[in-house]
Amino acid sequence: MLAFLPGFRPGLVHSMFSSISSRIIAATIVLVVICSGSFLLLSMKEHEAIYKDTVIGHLEALSGNLAEDLVPILGDEDAPLELATKLLDLEVYEHVKYALVFDDKGQLVQRYLAPAFMREAHPGQKLPSFDLDDVSPGVQIIKGELVAYRPIGDLAYTLGYLLIVNEYQEPLGQSNMALVVSSLPIALSILVVMIALTVTLNWHLLSPLTQLARFTNSIDSSSNYHLRVECQGDDEVSNLGKNINAMLSRIEAQSDKNQEYTDALEQQQRALKKLANYDTLTNLPNRKFLMEALRIDLARSKRKQTNLMILFLDLDNFKGINDSLGHEAGDALLIRVSKLITKQLREGDVLARLGGDEFLVLLNDIEDQVVSLGIKVAERIISVLEDPIMLGEWEVQTGVSIGIADAISSDYDPETIIRNADMAMYQAKESGRNTYALFQQELQAQTMRKMVIANSLGKAIQDSEFCVNYHVKVGLNGRVNGLEALIRWPSSAHGMISPAEFIPVAEHSGKITAISRWVLQRVFSDSAEIFAITSEPLVVSINLSAYDIKDPNFIEFIRDQIVMHKVSASNFEFEITESAYLDNFDEAIEFIRQLREMGFSIALDDFGTGYSSLSYLTQLAIDTLKVDQKFVRVMEQSPRDRMIIEAIISLAHRLELNVCAEGVETAQQMDFLAEQGVHQLQGYYFSKPCPLDDMANCIMDLHRSRKLAIH
């Protein structure tokens, strides 16, 4: 029903009665109203009964007295006026509506109508008729009226009958109303007093409960489990408060514990995330992190049609430093280098460590000038790493080779851009280290060619597509005293391929040991023919790769070949490049020791280019240093390179090593080197490498030529 009231909201009633206090007040009001109502009803009932008895008593008395007064009048037949007058006595009775007097035969003799009744009655309205036979003497209620019926005179000599009709319902209603009106103020006062009492009681009894409720609400909203409710006394609410406090203490302890667990878990998560995404040594992002960042940045660049650039960095000479000074120094170097590089970058650029001594720089959000920016950053990094770095008491000289590739020419593909930068980095390494190279499509062509070569090598080894040329080495007496075996690959599919091109490919594709074994077998089997060319002592040199040193079966293979070809080890020399022993220094020492034990001599090939520490020389048991042809080639124009040659030769003398200078192309070079005290010379000035079949003529020509007149 309430729902139809204007402005009624269903939630209103609910919120009104949501508190215990308002519910108690409402219940009290309802109770008081019910009690008061019941009391009033009972009072009215009682009042009605008393009223009825009183009115009946009065009517009985009135009708009795009037009937007695009518006896003499009704006996006198001539006194009808007196009868009417007598009946007028009824006027003083407010509620008598009318009265009827009948004779002994039941005929109406006289009637009296109260003036009020007459006024209210309609004109022509008949008096209610009563069948006198149904009416018994006395007072009774008939059809809602109080009817008094009395015989006039003695029962034995009845003169007539008197019937008085008295109003009953209306006066009763008025009386009841008067009762209600008189008792209403009392009932209302009781109601107000009860409500006031209830509110006060409520206030006193429920306020601790309300406070408790407010307190729990504040805990719920703030989640502050340090709060405590104040509770004195020993009543139910205080006990409830104490229980809540105890519960809070437990929750607090549990939540502290949970917080500790959560902190530990978060810490673990952070550590795991860091481990997964960052390099533990340098704290730089690792390869995984970088690849994700690169993928996102490339996708963004592609969308925005901008470019980005990556720099692939590989430290020069890191392996050497790591091996000679130990891993701790190597680690310290990586940390220092990473810090130095970071300083050269802008905010937003990413420097990641890919592993080992490989780093990658990601230059982001480049609108234009992309290449020049990449070069600028590369130059800055190269320049900062050119200065020697102090590692404790050691001063180390490192350097960096950098490959640069951009997103557009790599088709916005993460793997391609890294591969391109890697290719460019190798290009930089090959072109002398401590420099940078930009990725260009030709580089890709070169890489393709390397792949083709790698694929063809397997078949070439199978089909023995190779041959060996020999290059003479000349002593200071002008006589040929050595030959260097140099492999040649006249490929049936690709024409003549230089060893400078296919040997690195063979090394990277794992085919070099097979090639080295093939060369060794070929040279040993050629040896009878070689030593028959001249009666003078000759030492034949064979080049070895870094991978041969790592091959655990290679020494055994050589031993078998010596026996098989019945050769003497003292007639042979192995040339090992600096990079070969720098990469595996400990293995190289052992490898060289075993070769020397067998009787072979050892030459360090291309000496001076491999960034090796000079301290290596004291640890390696070698016989000869081969000065790299790069120094020889430029010595006439470069005083600096001349000084390096002088230093190498002087060092070799002090270490009592032989020196062979390779790449001699002019008489001046020959003269200078001879003057400095090299023991052996090799180069196109004397002869180009030639097949064994031509070697006899070659040596003969050489011996006859003026070139021999060194001194």
Q: Which of 675, 682, 672 shows the shortest CA–CA distance to 627?
A: 682
Residue 170, Cα to own-chain centre: how many angstroms? Answer: 88
Decide whether 56 or 460 has the Cβ nearer to ligand C2E.
460
Q: Cβ neighbours of residue 437 under 8 Å, at least 6 residues apart?
A: 401, 402, 403, 404, 424, 425, 427, 428, 431, 443
Compute CA distances 83 → 61, 86, 545, 699, whole Å: 19, 5, 165, 191
Report, in Å, the least distance between residue 541 CB and Mg ion: 7
* One of 279, 526, 575, 583 touching Mg ion (CB under 5 A): 575
Beta bridge partners of 142: 145
Contact between 660 and 603 under an 8 Å Cβ cutoff? The reply is yes
Distance CA 629, CA 665 (A): 10
Contact between 553 and 587 under an 8 Å Cβ cutoff? The reply is no
* One of 316, 573, 605, 641 touching Mg ion (CB under 5 A): 605
Decide whether 35 or 486 has the Cβ nearer to ligand C2E.
486
Residue nearest to Mg ion (CB): 575
**C-beta contacts of 376-380 below 8 A and 24+ residues apart:** 377/311, 377/344, 377/345, 377/349, 378/311, 378/402, 378/404, 378/436, 379/436, 380/344
| Residue 592 touches which member of Mg ion, ligand C2E, none, C-beta under 5-8 Å by kind | none
Decide whether 357 or 606 has the Cβ nearer to Mg ion.
606
Report, in Å, the least distance between residue 336 CB and Mg ion: 33
Decide whether 482 or 663 has the Cβ nearer to ligand C2E.
663
Report, in Å, the least distance between residue 358 CB and ligand C2E: 25
Q: Is 364 in the site for Mg ion (CB under 5 A)?
A: no
Report, in Å, the least distance between residue 491 CB and ligand C2E: 15
Report, in Å, the least distance between residue 515 CB and ligand C2E: 7
Report, in Å, the least distance between residue 659 CB and Mg ion: 13
Report, in Å, the least distance between residue 523 CB and ligand C2E: 9
| Residue 608 touches which member of ligand C2E, Mg ion, none, C-beta under 5-8 Å by kind | none
Stretch that binds Mg ion, among 40-48, 465-473, 537-545, 639-647 (CB under 5 A): 537-545
Binding site for ligand C2E (CB under 6 A): 471, 485-487, 498-500, 503, 516, 519, 543-545, 575, 605-606, 629, 662-665, 682-684, 689
Report, in Å, the least distance between residue 495 CB and Mg ion: 23
Q: What is the DSSP letter of 402?
A: E
Beta bridge partners of 468: 487
| Residue 338 touches which member of Mg ion, ligand C2E, none, C-beta under 5-8 Å by kind | none
Stretch that binds Mg ion, among 32-40, 439-447, 535-543, 586-594 (CB under 5 A): 535-543
Looking up tokens 């000349």, which residue turns up? 474
Q: What is the DSSP letter of 3?
A: G
* One of 279, 316, 548, 606 touching Mg ion (CB under 5 A): 606
Decide whether 317 or 682 has the Cβ nearer to ligand C2E.
682
Contact between 502 and 455 under an 8 Å Cβ cutoff? The reply is no
Distance CA 391, CA 330 (A): 9
Decide whether 561 or 579 has the Cβ nearer to Mg ion.
579
Contact between 310 and 417 under an 8 Å Cβ cutoff? The reply is yes
Q: Is 543 in the site for Mg ion (CB under 5 A)?
A: yes
Report, in Å, the least distance between residue 550 CB and ligand C2E: 13
Decide whether 113 or 546 has the Cβ nearer to ligand C2E.
546
| Residue 498 touches which member of Mg ion, ligand C2E, none, C-beta under 5-8 Å by kind | ligand C2E
| Residue 503 touches which member of Mg ion, ligand C2E, none, C-beta under 5-8 Å by kind | ligand C2E
SS3 per residue for 566-611: CCCHHHEEEEEEHHHHHHCHHHHHHHHHHHHHHCCEEEEEEECCCC
Report, in Å, the least distance between residue 442 CB and ligand C2E: 21
Distance CA 114, CA 112 (A): 7
Looking up tokens 């050691």, which residue turns up? 394
| Residue 364 touches which member of ligand C2E, Mg ion, none, C-beta under 5-8 Å by kind | none
Compute CA distances 588 → 370, 525, 576, whole Å: 44, 26, 9
Decide whether 240 or 690 has the Cβ nearer to ligand C2E.
690
Q: Measure CA of the first residue to CA of the last residue in the chain; give whole Å.
A: 133
Decide whether 147 or 549 has the Cβ nearer to ligand C2E.
549
Decide whether 311 or 549 has the Cβ nearer to ligand C2E.
549
Decide whether 66 or 576 has the Cβ nearer to ligand C2E.
576
Decide whether 241 or 689 has the Cβ nearer to ligand C2E.
689
Strands 658-661 and 680-681: parallel
Stretch that binds Mg ion, among 245-253, 257-265, 454-462, 542-550 (CB under 5 A): 542-550
Beta bridge partners of 168: none
Q: Is 545 in the site for Mg ion (CB under 5 A)?
A: no
| Residue 707 touches which member of Mg ion, ligand C2E, none, C-beta under 5-8 Å by kind | none
Report, in Å, the least distance between residue 280 CB and ligand C2E: 37
Report, in Å, the least distance between residue 615 CB and ligand C2E: 23
Contact between 575 and 473 under an 8 Å Cβ cutoff? The reply is no
Residue nearest to ligand C2E (CB): 683
Distance CA 288, CA 93 (A): 117
Q: Which of 710, 638, 630 shows the shortest CA–CA distance to 676?
A: 710
| Interface ranges with Mg ion (CB under 5 A) | 543, 575, 605-606
